[in-house]
């Protein structure tokens, strides 16, 4: 079975430039079909995927080409809504309608108690932070030996844990946001909703000292670690948020509301309704359940975002190369000529190696042709318009534009 089932490049205009968003998908375990809850998802530093749904959890050592089913030491299944991996010893933790741990790479899990576990964060120093029945607890070793300690006294219905750029930690409840500046040892209340029906959802760090937090019915706030005066930015609240090391930020919300930042929070683009439909261009994408809240269905691996939905779909989001219509040459001497090209003239490509993969897409990102190692392509059947050529090999991933007259 091939790992990649779908590949679509979507060209998003930001200012005077164009940014390419690439959507890929990977196979999912067939036995979680009919999942009704937001699934958990985590990926190890070696690319091993851990994935859980309504009644089972699964793992894949080949990026989704094949899957194995985990076994539990308790009777019955488990609704897995959160997955985390210890960077210290590789232990895997599951959260949902109970809290569980695996010390054998996800093959077997042992229950740690019948708690509602909404999120888990495993720190590099071995600490494990867990939200159990709405409270924040700390285990001081990755094997969970020695038990847990509740570290924030009030019952704030916590649901999300995140980490900033400089080690600061955030825990988000429906009405409160706390911050820790000492690796989770002490916590300060920074934001509180005292009336109304709004709820906080998540916190994510942007460039420099920028901090963004989502609040329902308000959209996204921009502030800093003091949580002083803030501004509202043009981005949906987001049911959760995640970003890559290179600064691609993603905020999924509801069934068809997506927001992105390609520049670490400097600018945002958002899509819903007809705009969302045009963005995904027919691709099958993750859907949220009736709860419309993704607790931990997001992961980052190799500077790409993995997003799992309640409809048994996992997609991979990545930022392509910024390209301009005038560009037809790169530093690696990839060049197209003639450009523009007429339909009765082959498009010649300079700089192609025998193992290069060539992908041609139209202006809205649909794949038109795929070739390998060729230096000429016929455009006789192409409609007039703007196209992109992407050349992929082990040594490069380049995209250039050309026009068919």
Look at the alpha carbons of 32, 33, 34, 35 in this order and tell me if their dihedral is positive or negative.
positive
Task: Tell me the C-alpha distance between 215 and 219, whole Å.
Answer: 6
Q: What is the pLDDT of residue 294?
A: 53
Structure tokens at 167: 């080690």
Evaluate whether 235 touches 226 at the Cβ level (below 8 Å): no
- Residue by residue, DSSP assigns 25-94 as EE---GGGTT--SPPEEEE-TT--EEEE-SS-EEEESSTTSS-EE-EESSSS---EEEEEE-TTT--EEE
Q: What is the pLDDT of residue 35?
A: 52
- Residue by residue, DSSP assigns 341-401 as B-TTSPEEEES--TT-EEEEE-TTS-EEEEEES-SEE--TTPPSEEEEEEEE-SS-EEEEE
Task: Tell me the C-alpha distance between 38 and 43, whole Å.
Answer: 17
Task: Tell me the C-alpha distance between 290 and 2, whole Å.
Answer: 31
Phi-psi label, residue 363: left if phi above 0, alpha if psi -120 to 50, beta otherwise: alpha
Q: What is the pLDDT of residue 291?
A: 57
Q: Rounded to the nearest 5°, which phi and psi values hold at 280?
A: -80, -20
CATH superfamily of 6-319: TolB, C-terminal domain (2.120.10.30)
Structure tokens at 192: 């509180």
Evaluate whether 161 touches 207 at the Cβ level (below 8 Å): no
Q: What is the CATH number of domain 335-404?
A: 2.60.40.3080
What is the average pLDDT score of the chain? 83
Structure tokens at 348: 């010649």
Task: Tell me the C-alpha distance between 376 and 337, whole Å.
Answer: 10
Give whole-number Cα distances, 29 to 9, 26, 271, in Å: 25, 10, 29
Exposed/middle/buried for residue 13 (C-beta within 10 Å: 0-12, 13-18, 19+): exposed
Q: What is the pLDDT of residue 144?
A: 97
43-81: per-residue pLDDT in tens?
999 999 998 877 788 899 988 888 888 999 887 777 888
Burial per residue of 366-380, b for 16 or more beta-carbon CB atoms within 10 angstroms, e otherwise:
eebeebeeeeebebe
Structure tokens at 293: 């809240």
Place of tokens 């309640």: 310
Exposed/middle/buried for residue 115 (C-beta within 10 Å: 0-12, 13-18, 19+): buried
- Same-fold call for 6-319 versus 335-404: no
Q: Which among 249, 223, 221 has a CA at the least distance from the CA of 237? A: 221
Burial per residue of 283-320, b for 16 or more beta-carbon CB atoms within 10 angstroms, e otherwise:
bebbebbeeebbbbbbbbbeebbbbbbbbbbbbbbbbb
User: Which residue pairs from 265-270 have beta carbons closer than 8 angstroms and sit at least 24 positions apart in sequence?
Assistant: 265/206, 265/207, 265/210, 265/212, 265/222, 266/206, 266/207, 267/14, 267/15, 268/220, 268/233, 268/234, 268/235, 269/12, 269/14, 270/234, 270/235, 270/236
Place of tokens 């091939």: 2
Place of tokens 């975002």: 305
Task: Tell me the C-alpha distance between 377 and 402, whole Å.
Answer: 12
Q: What is the pLDDT of residue 123?
A: 96
CB count in 10 Å sphere of residue 68: 13
339-372: per-residue pLDDT in tens?
888 889 999 998 888 888 888 887 666 778 888 9
- Residue by residue, DSSP assigns 244-280 as -TT--EEEEETTTEEEEESSTTSS-EEE-HHHHHHHH
Low-confidence ranges of the chain (pLDDT < 70): 1-19, 27-37, 289-295, 321-333, 363-365, 394-396
Place of tokens 């992407």: 390
Q: Rounded to the nearest 5°, which phi and psi values hold at 277?
A: -60, -40
Per domain, the residue ranges of the chain are 6-319, 335-404
């Amino acid at each position: 079975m091939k790992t990649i089932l779908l590949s679509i490049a979507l060209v998003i205009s930001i200012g005077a430039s164009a940014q390419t968003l690439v959507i890929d998908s990977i196979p999912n375990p067939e036995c979680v079909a009919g999942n009704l809850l937001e699934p958990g998802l985590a990926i190890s530093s070696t690319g091993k995927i851990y994935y859980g749904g309504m009644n089972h959890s699964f793992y894949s050592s080949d990026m989704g080409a094949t899957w194995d089913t985990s076994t539990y030491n308790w009777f019955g299944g488990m609704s897995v809504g959160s997955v985390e991996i210890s960077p210290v010893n590789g232990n895997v933790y599951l959260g949902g309608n109970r809290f569980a741990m695996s010390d054998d790479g996800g093959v077997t899990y042992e229950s740690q108690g019948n708690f509602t576990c909404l999120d888990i964060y495993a720190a590099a120093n071995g600490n494990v932070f867990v939200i159990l029945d709405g409270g924040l607890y700390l285990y001081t070793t990755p094997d969970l030996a020695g038990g847990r300690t509740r570290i924030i006294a009030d019952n704030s219905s916590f649901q999300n844990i995140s980490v900033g750029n400089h080690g600061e930690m955030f825990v988000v409840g429906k009405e409160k946001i706390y911050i820790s500046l000492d690796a989770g040892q002490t916590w300060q209340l920074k934001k509180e909703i005292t009336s109304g029906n709004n709820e906080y959802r998540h916190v994510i760090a942007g460039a420099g000292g920028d901090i963004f937090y989502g609040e329902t019915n308000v959209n996204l706030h921009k502030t800093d670690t003091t949580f002083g005066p803030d501004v509202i930015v043009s981005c949906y609240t987001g049911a959760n948020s995640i970003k890559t090391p290179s600064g691609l930020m993603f905020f999924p919300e509801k069934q068809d509301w997506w927001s992105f930042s390609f520049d670490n929070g400097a600018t945002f683009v958002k899509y819903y309704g007809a705009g969302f439909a045009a963005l995904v261009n027919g691709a099958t994408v993750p859907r949220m359940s009736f709860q419309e809240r993704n607790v931990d269905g997001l992961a980052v691996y190799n500077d790409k975002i993995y997003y799992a939905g309640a409809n048994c779909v996992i997609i991979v989001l990545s930022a392509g190369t910024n390209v301009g219509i005038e560009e037809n040459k790169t530093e690696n001497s990839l060049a197209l000529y003639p450009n523009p090209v007429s339909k009765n003239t082959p498009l010649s490509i300079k700089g192609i190696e025998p193992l290069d993969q060539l992908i041609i897409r139209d202006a809205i990102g649909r794949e038109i042709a795929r070739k390998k190692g060729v230096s000429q392509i016929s455009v006789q059947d192409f409609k007039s318009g703007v196209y992109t050529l992407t050349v992929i090999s082990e040594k490069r991933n380049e995209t250039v534009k050309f026009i068919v007259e």
